[in-house]
A and B are shown apart, each in its own frame.
Chain A
Amino acid sequence: MSRRDIVVGLALLAALLAVPALDPSRYIIGQLTLFFIWATIVTQWNLVLGVAGIFSLAQTALFAFGGYVTGMIGLYFGWPLWFALPVGGLAAVAFSLLIGVACLRLRGAYVALLTLAISQVMYLLIITDTECFYMDGVTCRNLTGGTRGLTKYGDFGFREILGAQWILGNYYLGAAILALATLASFIIIRSPLGMAFRALRDNQVYARSRGISRFKYQLLVFAVSAFFTGLAGGFYAGHFKVMGANTLYLSLSLFLLSMVIVGGVGRVWGPLAGAATLMIADEAFKEFVEYRNLGIGAVMVLFVMLLPKGIAGTIEDTLLPRFKRAPKGEGQETG
């Protein structure tokens, strides 16, 4: 991790921690909390897609899995969400290992197809869950909540501690998860693991001859990214107090994937830049309701055409060298 990364990271963290002191509206706090959730997923997706080179579309499935496990443990076992949350993360790891074993021996588009299929199967299993698992008054409840969604599993308890300011508790918890997820992605990118992926990319035969197993390392990244993605899912469940199949909509997957691309695939700061940019763009286009989707689409097209390396890639490769020659080894992490 370079000094520049540390300075940027600490400055960002300090800024986010200081935001509540400026007494913003609850809407701003709510949107920033949502940003933490999406950015956590995108940060981990970037690891899988941009660093490990796995064209996986299973990230929202892992997110939903973590959320559902967290909610179901809270609902059916009565656990506080504080305990259910890490279990949700670990469950997502177990799920990712299953997916990984099935997918990672494949390449490219086949991985994408299989992971997308897993995500859609999960969606279908939830929405076709119509069997009565228990009665709640006059209503029949399904194991997964079915199309109605899973509810009544509680929250993180900040209302009891902070009263009307409860959302700040969620805000800081979301910020902490994002900070940890970002730190983990830094460590992986800058560690021997990141070097291994670069070696595999640059000269696969040589890397293998040196004992670097593509499958083993990819599975490891898959699992690490699943933990934080699952945590984000559990946090989503606790923040919104409902976990529904809408988290598996393809439109959400594409929105999040766009964040990775707009930010810069494989760049350490790319996911945060992409998530922030697309959420701000979405916010700006709220004023022009009829053109909202068109506007978001136009932003993405413009980025792909004008900034093919994404925001972070353009800054690192084009803008920064103009001011200062980048030290050797910095700049583009993966290619």
Chain B
Amino acid sequence: MAGKIRTPSDIARETLENAGRRRFFGKAAAMGVGGLAGSAALLASINDGAKAQGEPIKVGGAVPITGWAAADGIEFQRGLEFACEDINAMGGILGRPLEPVFEDTKEQGADNLIPAIQRLIDRHGVHAIINGYNTGAVCAEYDTVADAGILYIHHNTDIVHHDTVKNNAERYFGIFMGDPAEYWYGEGLLKFLNGLGEKGLWTRPNDKIAIVTGSQNYSVVIAGAIRDNAEKYGWKTSLFETVVVPISEWGPTLAKIREDPPAVIAVTHWVPQDLAQFMIQFVPQPTDSLVYMQYGPSLAAFREIGKEAVNGVLYSTVVASLQDEFGNAYNNRYKEKYGASASPLVAAQPYDSCSYWAIAGALAGGTGGPGEEAQNRKVASRLRNMIYRGTLGTTRWFIPEQAATPYPDATNDPSLGMPHQYLQIEDHTKVPGLIAPSPYETATFKMPPWIKA
């Protein structure tokens, strides 16, 4: 292997071969456990052929099953269930099966999230809580988790996590954010845009960037990060507009954009139907601007509503399953199980997190329930030192912040960071192409159809 970077998959494979346990890897492969190839080998080898039986280990999900984020919440629920099934097929954690349990966080916020987490702890005695996102609690739930001494992995995409954990690393030893903070969207976009210019794929007509944000925290922080870093990357913010969501009438905003056409329009609101309306109203009288949007275009509803109007739209995400060997295998299996309309890229968040938590638990000699803090500190220690390659790409932690490192925003090495993926819709009837970062691309940037130059 000299001269080649050893991925966790390589390490797992070597471990397995050295131990003479090919049968487990063969079994995992035979199961077609795509996306778990590396961990399948490692976890199966640690489990040493044990079957998942006996007292189950409960793993909790505090997810918005009702309320405005229910569509994602249901995928988070499925993602955790799917992960538990795969892990149980490999012997669970040292022979103990995983049993997922869920609590609804409704409209989210601290007054919904904290009781949900407390209920998972008190009622179910969960060993870990693995979530997608919950907005509005701003880390207020951390004390509830820390008091119980269990592990908590979430995908709140929140920069506040960094300071909160860094400033109290001892107390919040078991709390991890499985995706990069939203802050990285700002610098990431500016780097990406400059990269397009450097590669000769696009020539900016001016240095102006118009930023349109929705009124939710996630959107505002991203918009702020773009605005605050624009000058550093040679851009000027020509418009910073906050729209109250939900919104379908974009006329006033578009009028301002048309009055002073920018090189880039960055819309950080994320609701797909609202974004589709933006494009439907933009395309009849476009400006020579690239249009970058947030998250919403990754959902099928955006393309279904916007149809031809959305062709050419750019978008990015710091956390989604990749279109590669691991990602595609997982995506296909997920859709096979939950139907073609299911959204595996959202479910991939708890799926990957549960997988690496299970490995860390097995490596630590088992996981601990509420009150078994000493054991869970061992699990957290294993997890902190782990570099995991899953469906989302690579998960490697900022230490002591315990948040996923983004690539290429914070590291130039794709094996050491979670890819900040840039995608473009070329044809609304097809899956969008991944145009950056390297080496994950499946397509190349195309000039949007509304730019005639």
**Which of A31, A127, A164, A252 is close to B216, meaning CB atoms less than 8 Å apart?**
A127
- Cβ of B242 within 8 Å of any chain A Cβ, yes or no, is yes
B159 touches A151 (CB 8 A): no
The residue on B at minimum CB distance from A149 is B138
A236 touches B118 (CB 8 A): no
The residue on A at minimum CB distance from B77 is A289
Which residues of A does B touch, CB under 8 Å?
Answer: 25-28, 30-31, 34, 124, 127-128, 130, 132, 136-140, 146-149, 151, 164, 236, 240-242, 244, 246-247, 249, 251-252, 286, 289-290, 292-293
A26 touches B217 (CB 8 A): no
A128 touches B244 (CB 8 A): yes
CB contacts (< 8 Å) of A138 on chain B: these are: 159, 183
| 0/1 interface trace, chain B 216-232, chain A, CB 8 Å (1 if under) | 11111101100010000
| 0/1 interface trace, chain B 106-144, chain A, CB 8 Å (1 if under) | 111111001100110111000000000000111110010
A241 touches B122 (CB 8 A): no
The docked-state distance in angstroms from the alpha carbon of A88 to that of B205 is 52
The docked-state distance in angstroms from the alpha carbon of A127 to that of B217 is 8
A128 touches B242 (CB 8 A): yes
Which residues, 18 to 69 on B, are CB-close (under 8 Å) to A?
A: 65-66
Residue contacts A-B, CB under 8 angstroms, 14 given: A25-B123, A26-B122, A27-B123, A137-B159, A139-B183, A146-B220, A149-B217, A151-B138, A151-B160, A240-B111, A240-B140, A252-B107, A289-B104, A292-B66
Minimum distance in angstroms from B19 CB to a CB of chain A = 43
A151 touches B244 (CB 8 A): no
- Cβ of B294 within 8 Å of any chain A Cβ, yes or no, is no
CB contacts (< 8 Å) of B136 on chain A: these are: 149, 242, 244, 246
New A-B pairs, 14, CB < 8 Å, besides A139-B183, A241-B110, A241-B143: A25-B118, A27-B122, A30-B114, A31-B115, A124-B244, A127-B220, A130-B224, A140-B228, A146-B217, A149-B137, A240-B140, A242-B136, A290-B66, A292-B104
Minimum distance in angstroms from A39 CB to a CB of chain B = 14
- Cβ of B162 within 8 Å of any chain A Cβ, yes or no, is yes
Which residues, 173 to 219 on B, are CB-close (under 8 Å) to A?
A: 183, 213, 215-219
Q: Which 6 interchain pairs have the tightest Cβ spacing?
A: A147-B217, A246-B109, A25-B122, A240-B110, A27-B122, A127-B215
The docked-state distance in angstroms from the alpha carbon of A216 to that of B204 is 65
B140 touches A246 (CB 8 A): no
- Cβ of B147 within 8 Å of any chain A Cβ, yes or no, is yes
The docked-state distance in angstroms from the alpha carbon of A317 to that of B216 is 47
Number of B positions contacting A (CB below 8 A):
44
CB contacts (< 8 Å) of A148 on chain B: these are: 138, 160, 217, 220-221
**Which of B140, B221, B240 is close to A242, meaning CB atoms less than 8 Å apart?**
B140
- Cβ of B409 within 8 Å of any chain A Cβ, yes or no, is no
The docked-state distance in angstroms from the alpha carbon of A149 to that of B108 is 13
Residue from B110, B121, B217 whose CB has the most chain A CB atoms within 10 Å: B110
CB contacts (< 8 Å) of A139 on chain B: these are: 159-160, 163, 183, 221
- Cβ of B352 within 8 Å of any chain A Cβ, yes or no, is no
The docked-state distance in angstroms from the alpha carbon of A132 to that of B121 is 38
CB contacts (< 8 Å) of A292 on chain B: these are: 66, 104, 106
The residue on A at minimum CB distance from B218 is A147
**Which of B65, B115, B118 is close to A289, meaning CB atoms less than 8 Å apart?**
B65
Residue from A27, A249, A286, A290 whose CB has the most chain B CB atoms within 10 Å: A27
B122 touches A246 (CB 8 A): no
- Cβ of B103 within 8 Å of any chain A Cβ, yes or no, is yes
The docked-state distance in angstroms from the alpha carbon of A206 to that of B240 is 59
Minimum distance in angstroms from B246 CB to a CB of chain A = 13
CB contacts (< 8 Å) of A124 on chain B: these are: 215, 244
The docked-state distance in angstroms from the alpha carbon of A30 to that of B111 is 10
B115 touches A30 (CB 8 A): yes
The docked-state distance in angstroms from the alpha carbon of A286 to that of B228 is 43
B118 touches A30 (CB 8 A): yes
The docked-state distance in angstroms from the alpha carbon of A241 to that of B163 is 16
The docked-state distance in angstroms from the alpha carbon of A25 to that of B117 is 13
CB contacts (< 8 Å) of A140 on chain B: these are: 224, 228
A26 touches B118 (CB 8 A): yes
CB contacts (< 8 Å) of B118 on chain A: these are: 25-27, 30
The docked-state distance in angstroms from the alpha carbon of A317 to that of B133 is 48
- Cβ of B102 within 8 Å of any chain A Cβ, yes or no, is yes
